[in-house]
Each structure stands twice: as C-alpha cells, then as structure tokens.
Amino acid sequence: MNALTGKALEVARSEAQQAVRTLRDRLPKLDDDAIDVILTDARSHYAWKDEPVEMDVLKRLYEITATGPTSMNTCPARFVFVTSHEGKERLAKSLKEKNIDKMMAAPVTAIIAYDLDFWCELPFLFPHEDRRPHFEGKPAHSETTAFRNGTLQGGYFMIAARALGLDIGAMSGFSNEIVDEEFFAGTTLKSNFLCNLGYADEKALFQRLPRFSFDQVCEFA
C-alpha cells in the first residue's frame, strides 16, 4: 500500500476537485443527441458488418469502462475479447443454438467476468486503508460484491462501447458453467454475461419493445 499523505495528499485532492469543477463548467450535461446514441435511440443488434474492431478501440473501450465507480474501487470485472475462430468455436459450446450464428458473425464477443479474489488487489486499488479483512475468509460476501460491481462494470462497458461508435448485443442465453470450464478453469474468475461488439447491419432489427412508464415502476419514500 502506497497512499499519499501530508502535502501530497492535499495537492492531489485539490487537483481532483478542480478537475470536476472544470468539467462541469465545460460540459454540464450531455445533449439529447449524445443521450440518443448511448441509450434512448440505441438498439441491441444481432447482425454484423464484416468490419473488424481495431485493437486501439478495444483498449480505449476498457480505459473508459475502468473509470466507472465501484464500491471501494474494487474493480472486479475481467474481460476476455473473443476474436479468433478457435476462441469462437470454444465459446459456441456454451451457447443456445439460436445465439451461435449471432456470436460467430460478430467481430468481437466479450466475456464479461468477475474475479472472486478481487480483494487481493485492494492495496493497489484502495491504498489509503487496508480493506482486505472485509473479504478474506468470507467467500459469500466476496462473491456478492464481485458479482454486483462486475455487473455495474458490464453496464459501463456497453455504454462506453456505444459512445465510441460501436454497436452491441448483450447475450445471456448460454451456460456459465461451460464458459467457466472453457476459459477460466483453475482460476478465480467466473463469467457473468456475453456481449457482441462490432458495427451493426441493421437488417436484423425489429420494432422497439415496450418499456414501463415512470408511474408504473417508480415511487417516492
């Protein structure tokens, strides 16, 4: 653990606070077009153009995703970008039949996973206090924390992908057990969900499905 102290800590906090103020002055909120791109008018896609996703784009995608907040900065998500034919064949073993063609056609399929031993990295991720005792020897608490925060990171991942001009198609029609056996055997990683990435061919789109209204699912307490 190598936490800042004294004057260095004071300077770092001041710089962080000013950076947020500067950002708010520069861009108080996204405009409607930006919100449309990442959520409102965005769609899940099932067909893909034969166009690769460059490595630099995937690296930038991760860098943006990694900035999203997690509890105690635990950052438990781990990402496997499946791009090779061999990797796709391995992944296909886990999929329901109707999802295989979607996955095989996508330039990239990301396995969004989480590390059960994320807490071992807390001296680096959360250096100002040793939080490892909160998790060591507590596997149920560790898994709940890893799954919750890893899922949050998966959400950031999908929004970041759209923000970079990529299209996405998240999938849950697969066997986590088979994915874990194929890709994470002998490790502390477990799969959460899959996400196809690339540049979509809109021919597979259909009408947007209904959503609940505010009054149907929101209340005040």
Residue 4: predicted pLDDT: 87
Side-chain half-sphere CA neighbours of 17 within 13 A: 6
CA–CA dist 68, 50 (Å, integer): 31
CA–CA dist 97, 115 (Å, integer): 28
For the chain, what is the radius of gyration of the CA atoms? 20
Q: Which residue is associated with the tokens 């329901």?
A: 96
CA–CA dist 179, 91 (Å, integer): 7
Asked if 147 and 102 touch (Cβ cutoff 8 Å), the reply is no
Residues of the chain falling short of pLDDT 70: none
Helices (DSSP H) in the chain: which residue ranges? Answer: 6-26, 32-35, 55-66, 85-92, 97-105, 122-125, 139-163, 176-183, 214-217
Residue 160: count of CB within 10 angstroms of its CB: 22
* Packed helices 55-66 and 139-163: angle between N→C axes, nearest 10 degrees: 130
Tokens of 197: 């990435």
Residue 69's alpha-carbon distances to 2, 16, 101, in angstroms, are 21, 15, 34
Fold type of domain 48-197:
NADH Oxidase (3.40.109)
Beta-bridged to residue 168, according to DSSP, are 44, 197
Beta-bridged to residue 42, according to DSSP, are none
Q: Which residue is associated with the tokens 């899940």?
A: 44
Side-chain half-sphere CA neighbours of 195 within 13 A: 25
CA–CA dist 24, 26 (Å, integer): 5
Beta-bridged to residue 111, according to DSSP, are 80, 194
Asked if 38 and 163 touch (Cβ cutoff 8 Å), the reply is yes
Per DSSP, the three-state class of 212 is coil
Residue 2: predicted pLDDT: 79
Q: What is the pLDDT of residues 194-212, one digit of tens each?
A: 999 999 999 889 999 999 9
- Report DSSP state, residue 38: I
